[in-house]
Each structure stands twice: as C-alpha cells, then as structure tokens.
C-alpha cells in the first residue's frame, strides 16, 4: 500500500511542478529525474513496517548547498515573485545538490525570458556549484548576462567575487568586492558579510605575498 502512495505522490508532484507552477518544458526531464531518484531511494532504504525510533537530528553534510541559495535570497532582498515560480523548483534541486537539474530548469526559464536577471544569477551559481566551486566559462557568461540585465543589482558582483575567490583569483575578487562595497548602503543587511569576506581575502593575499612559495 505504501508503494501506491509513493507513486501517486511522485506523480502528483510532477503534475504540480509542470502544470500548476508552469515550469518550462525544458526542465521537465530534470524534475522527473529528481522524483525518480527519490522513489529509487525509497525502494532501497525505506522500511514502512518498522516502528519509529526518534533520535537527535544529525548535521546535514550538504548544508553549504542550502546556504548558497539562502545567501542569494538575502542579497536580492526580495521574495520569489509569482512570475518566477520556477525558482522554487530550481532552488529545491540546488539545496539537494542537484545542480545540473537546477541549471536545466533555469535554462528553460531563461529561454522564455532572456531578461530575467534572477534566473541568470541562479544559473551562474548552480553552474559554479556543479563544477565544485570553479568558475567556468559558462558560469562566467551567466554572471555577465545577469549583470547586463540588472547593472545596479548587487547579486552578480557579489557571487562572481565569491566564485573568483573559490577559484583562487583572490586579487580579482577583492577588486570586485571593494567596488561593490563602495556602492553598498550602510544599512544593507548583507554589508557585514561582504566586509567580512573582504577582510578574509586581505589576509589570504597578505599571506601569499609574504610567502610566495605558498601560492
């Protein structure tokens, strides 16, 4: 009986994602793959006949995936508008480490609206995470498109700087972030985070210059 419920739940989730939330058709395959992965996980690990055994929650080893999504929401300083309902799905995939699927959903959304800066930014972050934190030509292109669509938006320079720093390009990241800091209002909720990251970069750059062999 539990199998029937799981299959119906997966089918219902697919219908909601594709027709109710109107996810672009290009993202349907990624959504179906994510749901099938969940069903497969249930098949391998579920034991519905076992009694419950409450225990303390363990730390999520993929907490950084969710942190990146939450950081983007903080920097954008806005919720998800009704026209961007696909973000719910792409962010859910990213939170679970399914960055390729998230990027595929976003690719369909961008095809529908090439001027959607939030979509370009979310795609850039997903591509960087998919490459294990390395700034690739594809992700750099997405960051540049996000900046071109919304030149005054803090998101593209903030996360491009983060990607540059993760790729070891500390001087470039520092220059970009300092330029952003100069344009950031004093009461911006993410200003302290930006200042902290700049200080960290300064320490790394200073250490490298004092010890060139450590580069």
| Three state DSSP letters for 152-188 | CCCHHHHHHHHHHHHCCCHHHHHHHHHHHHHCCCCCC
pTM as predicted: 0.66
Helix, strand, or coil (residue 118) = helix
Please give the pLDDT value at position 61: 37
Between 3 and 174, whose confidence is greater? Answer: 174
Residue 71 reports pLDDT greater than 80: no
Residue 175 reports pLDDT greater than 90: yes
Please give the pLDDT value at position 161: 92
Domains of the chain are 62-214 (1.25.40.10)
Q: Are 177 and 163 in contact (CB under 8 A)?
A: no
Tokens 């998230």 correspond to 102
Q: Are 201 and 174 in contact (CB under 8 A)?
A: yes
pLDDT digits (tens, 9 = 90+) for 126-147: 999 899 889 999 999 999 999 9
Q: Are 189 and 74 in contact (CB under 8 A)?
A: yes
Range 137-163 burial, b when 16+ CB lie within 10 A, else e: eebbebbebbbebbeebbbbbbbbbbb
Q: Rounded mean pLDDT of 138-161?
A: 92
Q: Are 169 and 176 in contact (CB under 8 A)?
A: no
């Amino acid at each position: 009986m539990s199998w029937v419920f799981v299959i119906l739940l997966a089918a219902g989730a697919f219908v909601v994602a594709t027709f109710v939330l109107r996810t672009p058709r290009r993202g349907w395959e990624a959504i179906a793959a994510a749901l099938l992965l969940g069903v497969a996980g249930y098949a391998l690990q579920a034991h519905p006949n076992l009694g419950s055994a409450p225990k303390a929650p363990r730390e999520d080893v993929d907490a950084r995936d969710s942190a990146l999504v939450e950081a983007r929401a903080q920097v954008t300083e806005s919720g998800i508008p009704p026209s961007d309902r696909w973000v719910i799905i792409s962010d859910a995939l990213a939170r679970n480490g399914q960055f390729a699927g998230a990027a595929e959903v976003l690719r369909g959304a961008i095809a529908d609206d090439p001027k959607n800066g939030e979509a370009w930014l979310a795609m850039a972050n997903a591509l960087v995470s998919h490459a294990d934190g390395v700034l690739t030509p594809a992700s750099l292109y997405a960051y540049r498109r996000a900046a071109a669509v919304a030149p005054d938006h803090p998101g593209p320079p903030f996360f491009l700087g983060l990607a540059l720093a993760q790729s070891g390009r500390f001087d470039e990241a520092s220059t970009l972030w300092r330029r952003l800091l100069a344009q950031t209002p004093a009461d911006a909720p993410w200003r302290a985070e930006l200042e902290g990251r700049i200080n960290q970069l300064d320490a790394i750059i200073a250490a490298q210059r004092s010890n060139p062999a450590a580069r």
